[in-house]
């Protein structure tokens, strides 16, 4: 099975060197503080070079990427919550969305060079924000985003290697079975690989070539959230 290559998302709430008004040494992200206090963080890959000037936020609702990698999962989560939990819905406003890569100039490729000073600076800032705000849920899309998140949660040591899709599936199942009540739980999902190789996504996560990847991960996440509902301020009133 091939490498799960990460890719697109968009502009507002991107990972940036410093939050507006904060000193350069603060190690914060350039987003409003109330955004970073949200309990569910989503981490995408980067802006698509062709549309960098048109997209307004990561996983922009008007751009197809969101609906290839997230919307089906979100729908299954909400269906499960409604049918099994009696809690209404998960509140969309509780999601904070960002990208691994900083916004690039139109037509340029995103900077995902682990050896570059700028990339390491972004990683340092992301790590600082994770340590400060400790979101209970961090959902990543693609191998690069998972690697970045894992490195952000690890204060020292070599960053994990880029994982194959089946390995991301294994990490997802491990995370579902090992909920941390006092830390950040990272759930790796697929990026464009899920749409391009939809016939293999089920096998990578469900262990069944005929499995529905979107349903599997959506139900798993919803069941987990329902189990730990009292600790998660994510519900619509």
Dump pLDDT digits (tens) for 23-38. 232 333 456 778 899 9
Predicted confidence at residue 88, as pLDDT, reads: 82
Return d(Cα 36, Cα 133) in angstroms, integer. Answer: 7
User: According to the model, what pLDDT value does residue 158 have?
Assistant: 65
Q: Are 205 and 172 in contact (CB under 8 A)?
A: yes
- Stated as kind and residue range, the H or E segment containing 99 is strand 95-99
Q: 123 is written with which tokens?
A: 């990683």
Q: What is the pLDDT of residue 225?
A: 94
pLDDT category of residue 43 using cuts at 50, 70 and 90:
very high
The answer to whether residue 59 scores a pLDDT higher than 60 is yes
| Separation CA 77–CA 236 (nearest Å) | 14
Full residue range of the structural domain in which residue 128 is found? 24-60+90-195
Beta bridge partners of 141: 189
Q: Find out whether 1 and 166 touch, Cβ atoms under 8 Å.
A: yes
- Would 180 be classed as within a structural domain? yes
pLDDT value for 7: 32
Residue 83 lies in a domain: no
Instruction: Say if 69 falls within a structural domain.
Output: no
- Examine the pLDDT at 4 and tell me if it is beyond 50: no
- Provide the domain count of the chain: 1
Which strands sit side by side in the sheet containing 40-44, from one edge to the other?
95-99, 40-44, 137-141, 185-189
Q: Say what the pLDDT of residue 85 is.
A: 66
In a domain, 154, yes or no: yes
Grouping H, G, I as helix, E, B as strand and the rest as coil, residue 146 is helix
Please give the model's pTM, rounded to 2 decimal places.
0.82
Task: For residue 32, tell me if it sits in a domain.
Answer: yes
Is 50 exceeded by the pLDDT of residue 196? Answer: yes
How far CA 93 is from CA of 25, 77, 169, in Å, comes to 29, 15, 27
Asked if residue 137 lies in contact with residue 185, where contact means CB atoms within 8 angstroms, the answer is yes
């Amino acid at each position: 099975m091939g490498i799960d290559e990460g890719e697109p998302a968009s502009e507002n709430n991107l990972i940036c060197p410093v939050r507006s008004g904060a000193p350069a040494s603060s190690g914060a992200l350039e987003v409003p503080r109330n955004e970073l206090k949200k309990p569910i963080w989503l981490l995408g890959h980067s802006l698509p070079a062709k549309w960098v000037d048109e997209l307004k936020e990561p996983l922009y609702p008007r751009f197809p990427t969101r609906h290839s990698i997230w919307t089906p999962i979100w729908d299954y989560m909400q269906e499960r919550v409604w049918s099994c939990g009696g809690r209404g819905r998960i509140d969309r406003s509780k999601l904070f969305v960002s990208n691994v890569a900083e916004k690039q100039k139109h037509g340029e490729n995103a900077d995902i060079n682990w050896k570059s000073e700028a990339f390491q600076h972004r990683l340092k800032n992301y790590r600082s924000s994770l340590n400060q705000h400790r979101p209970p849920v961090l959902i990543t899309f693609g191998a690069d985003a998972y690697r970045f998140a894992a490195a952000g949660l690890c204060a020292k040591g070599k960053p994990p290697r880029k994982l194959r899709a089946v390995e991301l599936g294994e990490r997802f199942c491990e995370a579902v079975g090992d909920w941390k009540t006092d830390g950040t739980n990272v759930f790796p999902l697929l990026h464009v690989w899920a749409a391009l190789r939809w016939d293999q996504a089920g096998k990578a996560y469900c262990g069944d070539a005929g499995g529905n990847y979107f349903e599997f991960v959506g139900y798993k996440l919803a069941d987990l959230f329902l189990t730990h509902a009292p600790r998660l301020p994510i519900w619509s009133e």
